[in-house]
Structure 1
Amino acid sequence: MTIFVRAYQYGDIEAMQQIWNEVVHEGIAFPQKQPLSLDEAKTFFKEQTYTGVAVEGETVVGLYILHPNNIGRCQHIGNTSYAVSNQHRGKKIGETLVKDSIIQAAAHHFRILQFNAVVATNHSAIHLYKKLGFTQLGTIPGGFRLPDGTYADIHPFYIEV
């Protein structure tokens, strides 16, 4: 079945909340420690510059949020976070989401997409970002605390859009 990305709709929020919270519970990619309640999810996704969902048939299988990375003189730099449902991983949904986010970043007048904290153990994301032309800016040693209390390095990445 074909996967396509579109702007989220109100009826998608419960599925989006579930997918987002899966990633939060895993504790290996997002900085958040607490899951989103349904009311928090409604507000959170609405407040973004753009929220896209990957859909397979009628099922939301992934999502991303796009927003400024900073304010004022730096708000032309966008930031995104991606989440794919555990049961739908391995279908290149992440790649589809990242490609769409680059298009949406340009459409929303961002000049750059910057990822502040790609966890070094997230090898598939790092491989994907490099494949799509993102540049790694360096390494922040021990920048991410894993669920077991150990620390992993993080890598900032960017791409001009």
Structure 2
Amino acid sequence: MAESPAAGSTSSSSPPPSTALIDRTLHALGFQFTLISPTKVTGRLKVTETCCQSFNVLSGGVSALMAETLASLGAYVASDFRRVAGVQLCTNHIKAAPLGEEVEVEAKPIQVGRTIQVWEVQTRKIDPSTSGSNILLSTSKVTLLCYRQAPHASNYEETIRKYAKL
């Protein structure tokens, strides 16, 4: 599980963050963060060949990667920028997202403690034919350990503070 957090946010007063500044792996897949806050982290991904498995649907591993990354970023911000490490990830895949579709991912905390946080992450297919009723693809629960300050991450903390809604 990832030890360093990752994500980005958009507020009305700041431009959307470069995903590359927030998380290089998700950036390579084409993921874009739309919100970072201590209570919610969101983003979008177009399903391309790069993130598909052999049957041209979104890889379950990519769904798990997005879940842990968004939960880790949320935990990082919610813990006042303390180092976080994933200790458990459970993902249930409900429906497939075929090549060419766009998905949105939303992470919200279930429990924010001093040392342990639990986040729920939902991935939904964006259905342009409906207004607001997107199709649930997967749901994840991520448990994270929050511990000491991360002294080597001061540039990362500055980047996240720049884009986060605090």
Normalising by structure 1, what TM-score? 0.35
Task: Specify which structure has the bigger relative contact order, considering alpha-carbon pairs within 8 angstroms and separated by 6 or more residues.
Answer: 2
Structure 1 or 2: more helix by fraction: 1
